Amino acid sequence: MKPEEKIILGLDPGFGRTGYAVLTGSKDAPRLIDYGLIETAADLKQAKRLALVVQRVEKVINLHHPHIVAVEKVFFASNTKTALQVGEARGALLVTLEKYKLPILEYTPPQVKLAVTGDGKADKKQIQKMLQLIFHLPQPIKSDDAADAVAIALCALSRQVLDTQIVLN
């Protein structure tokens, strides 16, 4: 890694499934370091599920030492219960990121889609295909949530205004 390259952690917050991705490099030569999915069992209590998501994200932070975190903004939700749960997971993660003093960038789904595919209305398959091409992956990323996290991190990397677009600190 070059000294001027930043490590970016991308997060797609969710209650039952949180995607994460770690990237570095530049807009023209991004490198995918790690990605995955944090899942919690539906039969666990709400607080336990949130605690597990936080613990697993902390492991990723401690392993990769990101400089910046890119998080998906909640854009809209048709299901109120799901929206509340995503909001709770997102809130728990934002508190965790503050604990680590990590700068946070936020992007809406259309911003992410536009950055990755050139189309702010792209579907998940288009995003996954572009990620496969960009990172020379043998197959598309299987988990939508993990793919979204990679796309969110790539959006932050491609914006090239990391130091001026920090919205939460």
State the catalytic residues: 12, 72, 145
Q: What is the DSSP letter of 2?
A: -
> Which among 75, 76, 66, 77 is positioned nearest to 104, based on CA atoms?
66
SS3 (DSSP) at 126: helix
Residue count of the chain: 169
Q: What is the DSSP string of 67-120?
A: SEEEEEPP---S-HHHHHHHHHHHHHHHHHHHHTT--EEEE-HHHHHHHHHS-T
Residue 152 has a CB neighbour count (10 Å cut-off) of 32
